[in-house]
Amino acid sequence: MADMIFYVLSDSVGETAELLGKAALSQFANQDIKIQRIPYVDDEATMVDAFNLANENNGIIAYTLVKPEFRQKMKDLSAQYNIKAIDLIGPLLEELEQHLQEKPTLQPGLVHKLDEDYYKRVEAIEFAVKYDDGRDAKGILKADLVLIGVSRTSKTPLSQFLAHKRLKVANVPIVPEVEPPEELFQVDPDKCIGLKISSEKLNHIRTERLKALGLNGSANYAKKERIQEEINYFNRVVDKIGCDTIDVSNKAVEETANVILRKLKK
């Protein structure tokens, strides 16, 4: 067979059609076939141009057009020009519609909106890692949300959970011996939340944590006097910032996250 061109038409950027075309063509190692993408097809004239090109270049056409009228026009032109045109998405949409008992939205480019959502989530996760545990105070003013709390109040897992909701979260540990960063008092108090916990619960968590590490459960880190000192200092910092607090003493990370998301919606 003479060299040919494989034209892929799409009502969006055409990446999906091209990747599928490449995957199929890779199975034919003895053929030298070039793929040419024709994106953003939204009128009949572009379709006609594609068939004229295919006619001139011994071409074949594949398309991912979600609108039924466009798919029908491609079928009509295929018959008119006697050129093979393969509908890559129509049959799948029809089968899914029957199986799901739901009409498709028929809106071009939705897959790329989903991709955008994915990248926003990844960006938020990377942000949470970079600005975890007060590692870099510059993140405080860049964040959508700042979490503060004493050690073992689930700041890190909560930051990661909220990052999966596409929120850029920085968290800052509050320790009596360490002055909080200046940025913490510059941030909008509505974007800052203190994670409050009872001294009894914190004593239990820290004691168990020390035991898990093979350390003495009676170390200063888990002593009630030390814990109360930290909580008192935390309360002073919260008062200075003027931010809301959430009691996490008996809440799972998911519960706390839901409370925060409701607050942010308000």
Rg (CA), the chain: 29
Quick check: 148 and 195 in contact, CB under 8 A? yes
Of 52, 87, 108, the residue that ends a domain is: 108
Whether residue 124 is found in the same domain as residue 99: no
DSSP label of 130? H
**183: enclosing H helix or E strand:** none
Instruction: Check whether 26 is labelled as a binding-site residue.
Output: no
Q: CA angle, corner 112, sides to 69 and 160, nearest 5?
A: 150
Whether residue 79 is found in the same domain as residue 118: no
- The per-residue pLDDT of the chain, averaged, comes to 92
Handedness of CA 71, 76, 77, 81 (dihedral sign): positive
> What is the predicted pLDDT for the residue at 33?
86
Instruction: Give me the domain span that covers residue 66.
Output: 4-108
Instruction: Check whether 149 is labelled as a binding-site residue.
Output: yes
Whether residue 147 is found in the same domain as residue 251: yes
Give me the amino acid identity at 119.
Y
Residue-wise pLDDT for 222-243, tens only, equals 999 999 999 999 999 999 999 9
Instruction: Check whether 152 is labelled as a binding-site residue.
Output: yes
Dig out the tokens for 266 from the structure. Answer: 């308000």
Instruction: Check whether 211 is labelled as a binding-site residue.
Output: no
Instruction: Check whether 59 is labelled as a binding-site residue.
Output: no
Whether residue 89 is found in the same domain as residue 149: no
Instruction: Check whether 198 is labelled as a binding-site residue.
Output: no
Residue-wise pLDDT for 48-77, tens only, equals 999 999 999 989 999 999 999 999 999 999
Q: Which of 219, 217, 148 is nearest to 187 (CA)?
A: 148
Quick check: 34 and 6 in contact, CB under 8 A? yes
Q: Tell me the C-alpha distance between 1 and 163, whole Å.
A: 53
